[in-house]
Amino acid sequence: MAAPRIVVVGAGPAGTRAAEALVSSGIRPVVIDEAARSGGQIYRRQPPNFKRGYEKLYGFDAQKALGLHQCFDGFGDDIDYRPETSVWNVRDRKLYTVCRNRSGEVEFDAAIFATGATDRLAPVKGWTLPGCFSLGGSQIALKAQACSIGKRVAFFGTGPLLYLIAYQYAKAGVDVAAVIDTSPFANQAKAIPLLAARPSLLARGLYFRAFLASKRIPVHSGARSVEIVGSDRVRAVIVRTAGKTFEIETDAVGTGFHLRSENQLADLAGCSFLFDHLTQQWRPNIDQDGRTDRAGIYLAGDGARILGADAAETAGRLAAIGAMRDLGLPQSEDEIRRLRRQMQRFERFRKGLLVAFPWPEALAREATDDVLVCRCEAITVGSLRQTAVHEDALELNRAKAFSRVGMGRCQGRFCGSAAAEIVAAARDVNLADVGRIRGQAPIKPFPGGIDEEVAA
């Protein structure tokens, strides 16, 4: 029998460990990654001519980052590595790719999508001003380009990344004006029993808070709303908490509310989705090993469910082992049980994070009509509300068709969570009932001018 054709999409923690498990079983997978170098986002590498060491770049996670990069670099010819390549569609066990200006196709018996996540965003007034970046973007500027997003930076949002990135900026010597968290401080105390599933990460979170305090960086918890003000660039943020409203001068804002999965390929492959009440988001329906309900399609890492980088490594291994077992290649049952137990611990911690840092639904629901919900085409919250009511758009894809919110070039990645809240609130229905924006190929815009691959 010919060796099964297994393809891994993504070369972050999940994709790297999936490839490692496949290689160690004698399979030569195709590994497709958008980036020029492996690592994904959290372990993103700096350009080769940068000189900073791992300790400086990855802090507490330096050894993990090094281990993951060395693992990938060690594959050599054991994998068919295709960097700088985007998968833009999947159909009938075939992936459609584009690399620079060249299109391509990859047929597979099993595909593991380890496509990661982006920041989950909520629209606030002024969030399209130059100087406002996502939290993930703020971190990339620092790690991959050795730049700060501004001279004096405020961070606004919620979730573990908010504190991690504020800490990284402060440690790099940047003037951090404030950390503004929509989650009430009491939630974080309430979450401690669940967060104790991973004591070292809990300790790290507490350390970040203590570090910010030691630098006298104000942390405002329980923010009700934020407005970013300025003319053609960020000048200040106006913060409203339960008791007061105040202004903080700043020339840059990093914002984000935890993460959302990049799950468009699972969607295009026809995998079913379920509504996750903890995150208030739809996600692909997978079993404990990452199997979807479509034969041959597996998901691993934050692209399936937001569990973080450590869980992504475990999930990558599990998905690869599951795929090989389904193809009739015997796997160690002890190893499967061990990895599944690890995933249970990560799942408990995930629940803790969601108690500590809930998605602030009110931010979108109560946004004023003049706020831009769609960054791509500058469409206002008011326009979307009008559509929901007057075009009888009770369902998100109908609202998208009439308002164009979600139809722009980010394809709903940065407006989707908020758009669902706005439509649900305008029509007074449950969030789950408005559905989710369907994935459409190509899942990212093409560069101009693609050459078709012509069979010789």
Residues that bind another protein (CB under 8 A): 34, 36, 41, 46-52, 118-119, 128-134, 136-137, 140-142, 145-151, 172-174, 232-233, 251-252, 262, 372, 375-378, 408-410, 413-414, 444-445, 447-449
CB 84 within 8 A of CB 100: yes
CB 109 within 8 A of CB 122: no
Shorter beta-carbon distance to another protein: residue 99 or 429:
99
CB 124 within 8 A of CB 173: no
Residue 339: its H or E element = helix 333-356
Shortest Cβ 404–another protein spacing (Å): 10
CB 261 within 8 A of CB 268: no
Shorter beta-carbon distance to another protein: residue 50 or 246:
50
Q: How far apart are CA 85 and CA 301, in angstroms?
A: 19
Shortest Cβ 411–another protein spacing (Å): 9
Shorter beta-carbon distance to another protein: residue 438 or 444:
444
Q: How far apart are CA 149 and CA 142, in angstroms?
A: 8
Residue 145, strand partner residues: none
Shorter beta-carbon distance to another protein: residue 48 or 76:
48
Residue 379, strand partner residues: 374
Q: In the block, which residue shows the tokens 């994904």?
A: 40
Shortest Cβ 133–another protein spacing (Å): 6
Cis peptide before 442 (omega within 30 of 0): yes
Bridge-based pairing state of the strands 94-99 and 102-107: antiparallel
Report residue 445 as tokens.
């815009």
Residues 158/163/166/172 CA torsion (nearest 10 deg): -160
Q: Which amino acid is at 168?
A: Q
Q: Which amino acid is at 314?
A: T
**Cα 455 to chain center, whole Å?**
37
Shortest Cβ 261–another protein spacing (Å): 12
Shortest Cβ 120–another protein spacing (Å): 12
Shortest Cβ 146–another protein spacing (Å): 4
Residue 219, strand partner residues: 179
Q: How far apart are CA 154 and CA 361, in angstroms?
A: 21
Shorter beta-carbon distance to another protein: residue 47 or 193:
47
Please, what sign has the CA dihedral across residues 382, 385, 387, 391? negative
Shorter beta-carbon distance to another protein: residue 107 or 451:
451
- Residue 233 backbone phi and psi in degrees, to 5: -170, 165
Shortest Cβ 262–another protein spacing (Å): 8
Shorter beta-carbon distance to another protein: residue 6 or 117:
117
Shortest Cβ 361–another protein spacing (Å): 22
Shortest Cβ 378–another protein spacing (Å): 4
Shorter beta-carbon distance to another protein: residue 46 or 187:
46
Shorter beta-carbon distance to another protein: residue 229 or 389:
229
CB 260 within 8 A of CB 413: yes
Shorter beta-carbon distance to another protein: residue 131 or 160:
131
Shortest Cβ 387–another protein spacing (Å): 17
